Amino acid sequence: MSRHPRQRYEAICEASPDAIVLVDFDGRITYANARVTDLFGYEPAELVGEPVEILVPEAARDQHIAKRDAYIDAPEIRPMGADLDLSGRRKDGSAVPIDITLSPIETDGQREFMAAIRDISEQEALQTKYRTILEAVPDAVIVADAATGEIIEVNDHVTDLVGYDPEELLGRPQTILHPTGAEDRYRELFDEHIASENRILGQLPDGSDLYVETKTGRHVPVEINAHVFELRERRLIAGVFRDVTTRKEYGRQLRTLHAATRELMDATDCEEIARLVADAARTILGYEHNVVRLLADETRLQPVAVTEKAETEMGDRPDYPITGPAPVSRAYDNGDSLRYDDVRSLDDGYDRGEARSAMYLPLGEYGVISIVDPAVGAFDESDEELASILSLNAEIALKRILYQRDLERQNERLDEFASVLAHDLRNPLNVAQGLLDTARGADTSEELDEIETVLDRMAGIVDDVLTMVRSGYDVDDVEALEFASIVDVCWDAVATGTASVRVESNGFLYADSSRIRNLFENLFRNAVDHAGEGVTVTAGVFEGGFYVADDGPGIPPAERDRVLEPGWTTDEDGTGLGLNIVREIAGAHEWDVSVTASPTGGARFDFTGVRTTVSDGPFDG
């Protein structure tokens, strides 16, 4: 046979990226390509004639000879040492991780054996890094073959999650972790992970939670972060499984807390709030022994709401003073929450029955909630955080109730005050006005004019105060009102003397008819009082608003932001309430009001954010 086949093999071998050696039946090297120098440090000529074991670590040489002879007796194309960590020996004695593929060949009529040797140092480093990361991850990690779903590696945290030892899972299909009966749905999810390569999942496509099934058949909610990668020419998928049981429970607690807060804000008395708080501590935190105490007689904290178990297992709960060594008293007095792993450590003379763990949370200046449990160390930071939110919401609800009570009492006093104004002040004013009219028949002195001015002033104060006290500023019914008509009615209700009003553009505005009259009457009265009885007032509707202006002296720019505030007036006899009433009525309608100069230099009040309809053509009124 010619030498061409051998030369052809050698040419192919020299072009290979791997180190290649040919070995005869005696196990001696007959050829080595140039790549062996890069991998082992030998020149090819140095290896020819040497036993192949020169490239094998000394500790493995005897074993290698036996395996080499066995291969020569039954040669085939296959990897050497499948699933084993192989290493070669360099010329300097150092070891290098390698993969070897063996195959028999015929050259020049003789059988030889070819070993293709590949340096896998980088892959080994990558695998070492991968294994280090695998063990460092605080969650369960499962690595599976992307094609078959076979589990090939897991970390120790898998045992904590599903109860299997790592060895029990290796080689098993990843469906072993799927809830029984849902394998197909989860397999589809697995395939989607592979298709998307990187994806975090916490739910199935229909929105239901994602679970793993433990060795005992329990279902644990999880979030999975899956990552597809290549390792040693194998496509793998690594899934990081995070137990979200605590997160799900915390979410449930928050939703229950929000619902309880809504009920607290709808409560109508302090006793109802106390009952809701005691029950919420049970449904949110899962603790059954709860007592809510509220301040009584300004000196003691009295039980108002006691859960059933607290009552049956702990007996009648005592009052506590607002100061003292007991934790209820201290929590109230200091305004700080207290938590005990075991209340038996307290030496304050109070019997707490079988209670061990305890939390005491102040409800501001209104009371204290006590949450106890028969287990030692039952409460954690999450419990304390949620209980603190509950106590704060209860404090706000109690404050609202007591504020409403105070407000009701104030309103009652204001109603009484309004009655005094209406009766005890108006009657004397009417009598004085009648006497003044009688006196004018016989006397026209200036003193009588001054008296009339004072009486008018007093009547104006009574009207302004009655408007605030009796009517308030709330808007009851909004209706469409013709602008010119309401202007005329209000103008006629004000003592305007020789002053005049002109509607420049008519239309409709939507407002409370009672409140809008108060607004216009105060604007008109302000114009006459500050611009004189000869003032001309103009008013009109525009898209989204209306205005009232006069041709008086106007309001200085520096004062325009203040004119609507209570007490502002340029008249020493003014109340300073009229324009403030205008602002409050506008605010009750959710309108904006601004003060500018009219075209003639007087004052102009613009109201915007108003629902209006402008009439076509000029107003002929």
Overall pTM > 0.85: no
pLDDT digits over 11-48, tens only? 888 888 899 999 999 999 999 999 999 999 999 999 99
pLDDT of residue 218: 94
pLDDT of residue 206: 83
Q: What distance in Å separates the CA atoms of residue 482 and residue 613, rounded to the nearest whole number?
A: 9
pLDDT band of 493, cuts 50, 70, 90? confident
Report which of 330, 342, 402 is spatially closest to residue 368, judged by C-alpha positions: 330
Q: What distance in Å separates the CA atoms of residue 130 and residue 231, rounded to the nearest whole number?
A: 10
pLDDT of residue 515: 85
Q: What distance in Å separates the CA atoms of residue 12 and residue 5, rounded to the nearest whole number?
A: 11
Give the CA distances from residue 191 to residues 154, 240, 269, 310, 381, in Å, rounded to whole numbers and listed in that order: 20, 16, 58, 53, 40
Q: What distance in Å separates the CA atoms of residue 430 and residue 438, rounded to the nearest whole number?
A: 12
pLDDT digits over 604-617, tens only? 999 999 999 998 64
pLDDT band of 469, cuts 50, 70, 90? low
Phi and psi based region of residue 500 (left: phi greater than 0; alpha: psi -120 to 50; beta: remaining): beta
Domains of the chain, earliest start first: 3-120 (3.30.450.20), 137-248 (3.30.450.20), 267-405 (3.30.450.40), 472-614 (3.30.565.10)
If you average pLDDT over every residue of the chain, what do you get? 85
pLDDT of residue 472: 59
Q: Classify the C-alpha dihedral 181-185-191-196 as positive or negative.
A: negative
pLDDT digits over 350-403, tens only? 878 788 999 999 999 999 999 999 999 999 998 999 999 999 999 999 999 998
Q: What is the DSSP string of 314-331?
A: H-SPPPEESSSSSHHHHH
Report which of 185, 188, 186, 167 is spatially closest to residue 177, judged by C-alpha positions: 186
Alpha carbon 414 to its chain's center? 43
pLDDT digits over 170-183, tens only? 999 988 998 998 88
Backbone angles phi, psi at 550, to 5 degrees: -140, 175
The tokens of 241 are what? 């499984």
pLDDT of residue 620: 46
Which residue reads 């799900």 in tokens? Answer: 248
Q: What distance in Å separates the CA atoms of residue 484 and residue 613, rounded to the nearest whole number?
A: 13
Q: Would you say residue 459 has pLDDT above 80? A: no
Instruction: Among 109-113, 454-458, 485-489, 543-547, name the one with the lowest average pLDDT.
Output: 454-458
pLDDT digits over 215-243, tens only? 999 999 999 888 888 876 788 888 899 99
pLDDT of residue 505: 94
Q: Are strands 219-231 and 338-340 parallel, antiparallel or unpaired?
A: unpaired
- Whether the CB-CB separation of 357 and 379 falls below 8 Å is answered with yes
Report which of 506, 494, 505, 503 is spatially closest to residue 460, judged by C-alpha positions: 494
Q: Would you say residue 621 has pLDDT above 60? A: no
Instruction: Classify each residue of 12-47 as buried b or exposed e, where b means 16 or more C-beta atoms within 10 Å of its C-beta.
Output: ebeeeebbbbbbeeebbbbbbbebbbebbebebebb
pLDDT of residue 346: 87
Q: What is the mean pLDDT of residues 435-448?
A: 75
The DSSP call for residue 60 is G
